[in-house]
């Protein structure tokens, strides 16, 4: 009945938009910065340490255009 006299769908859209803005701003305020909370100090005697990166099996040479692969 209300829509026949006055289009009121803009009220619900405005309310949803306002709620989304409030909810998003409260989420951003509650996030913590992991760089401030956690620190890592490397040990002094790691000169002969090897670091190995495990890359997923879908990351193959034929899926990337680096190192001159064609």
pLDDT for the residue numbered 37: 86
pLDDT in tens, 14-28: 999 999 988 887 777
What stretches in the chain show pLDDT beneath 70? Answer: 1-6, 57-58, 60-70
Q: Structural domain boundaries of the chain?
A: 2-63
pLDDT for the residue numbered 3: 57
This prediction has a pTM of 0.36
Phi and psi dihedrals of 8, rounded to 5? -105, 5
Say how far apart CA 67 and CA 37 lie, in whole Å. 37
């Amino acid at each position: 009945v209300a829509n026949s006299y006055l289009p009121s769908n803009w009220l619900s859209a405005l309310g949803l938009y306002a709620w989304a803005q409030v909810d998003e701003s409260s989420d951003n305020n509650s996030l913590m910065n992991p760089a401030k909370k956690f620190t890592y100090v490397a040990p002094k005697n790691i000169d002969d340490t090897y670091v190995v990166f495990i890359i997923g099996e879908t990351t193959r040479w034929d899926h990337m255009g680096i190192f001159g692969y064609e």
